[in-house]
Structure 1
Amino acid sequence: MTEIQIEHVDADRWTDLETLFGRAGADNGCWCQYWLLGAGYHHRDRAENRHDLQSQAGSDRAGLLAYQDGRPVGWARLTPRAELTWLGARFSAFEFTPDDAWSLPCFFIARSAQGSGVMRALIRFAAEWGRARNVPIEAYPIDVAAPGATRNRFTGVLPAFLDEGFVVAGRLSDDRVVVTTGEVARL
């Protein structure tokens, strides 16, 4: 298996991210604007979503890119939770900690790289990055063991996060948990 390298997305890596996402803009044209806009991203022209992600890349807020053999094979958004306005609105009943956590809410892995450890490499890199800066990293994966768990796994799956040292901090729904690298004061 080829080694996976992880890099932060910036303006210089935009072309690689655009190549990975393809003409469709990842799975459905969201260009990872869902956690910022909610379902409203569907009502916008895909070019607007693409433009917004490109702007986020220019401000170093677009996330991480995974490479194998020099080509982009995976991506994860890594951004301050405070910027994910739809997350707080959609799960307003959940009491998020008031800390300055960064979120790892979304992944896109090329079909050719699925099952090769790309998601885990992205999770590991984000956790190590946060620990080095004393910044908690938070995510909202699917608990695949929950009855009726959604098959929409763009937020990642719980076992991958637990394997990388995240701990469960609560639940947003029956099948979606909150995990963190920070201290857990509630459960």
Structure 2
Amino acid sequence: MSGSARIEVTTAVAGNWRDVERLFGRSGASNGCWCQYWILGAEYTRRDRSQNKRDLARQIGSGAAGLVAYRDGEPVGWARFAPRSELDWLLKRFSGYDFGQEAAWSLSCFFIARTARGEGVMAQLINYAADWGRDHETVIEGYPVDTSVDGATRNVFPGVLPAFLDAGFIERGRLSMDRAVVASTPDRAPRKHGVASR
């Protein structure tokens, strides 16, 4: 992190929708997805991108959609953070995996501004979610890519495995050879000091 810049993380709510909109830009984060992939799958590409945008605005307005990271007051990072039960495509695509009966929350997708990549923004988002899980006695799951696997996907929007392990998550299984399932449980989630909230 350069200079005196400090990363702060907060829950995405209707009041900071404009910040998310500015962060995602005209491209809608990635090819107009507006973070709808784990809900719709490829269907997000088959409809008008403005509908994806409207859906994310509605989801944020509901109060359970994601996290926003700020650097010196400017939005620089996003993470989809919502109950696993709301991620229809995740559950359908990996229906052969036993997620169990826990009412877990999923930290399933990230978008970091190009100007802030390599500055630990993803780590701060992960740490915030782990702390939230501890405070709310809730299991937090992630589905990061293990880039050490030969032939691993280069599409690392679900995050990368070392970032989750560094935050105290433990691996529970694999959705595929290169996609881990990791979890932070309330009894294993030490508060990550230095993660500021707004």
Unaligned runs of 5+ in 1: none
- d(CA) in 2 for partners of 1:147, 1:87: 23
Unaligned runs of 5+ in 2: 187-198
State the partner residue of 2:161: 158
Query: 2:184 is aligned with what amino acid?
Result: T
The 5 Å alignment of 1:135-150 reads 135-150=138-153
State the partner residue of 1:99: 102
State the partner residue of 2:123: 120
| Aligned: 1:57 with 2:66 | no
State the partner residue of 1:168: 171
Cα RMSD over matched residues? 0.8
Aligned residues: 183
Which among 81, 86, 103 is matched to residue 84 of structure 2? 81
The 5 Å alignment of 1:15-26 reads 15-26=18-29
Q: So what's the TM-score if we normalise by structure 2?
A: 0.91
Query: 1:179 is aligned with what amino acid?
Result: V
State the partner residue of 1:6: 9
Identity %, equivalent residues: 58
Which among 45, 48, 51 is matched to residue 48 of structure 2? 45
1:182 deviates by: 2.6
Which structure is richer in relative contact order (CA contacts within 8 A, separation 6 or more)?
Answer: 2
- d(CA) in 2 for partners of 1:44, 1:98: 33
Output one character per residue of 1:52-108: Cα deviation in whole Å (capped at 9) or x when no partner. 000011011220000001000000010000000100100011000111100000000
Output one character per residue of 1:118-146: Cα deviation in whole Å (capped at 9) or x when no partner. 00000000000001110000010000111
List, as ranges, runs of 4+ consecutive aligned residues in structure 1 with deviation greater than 6 Å: none
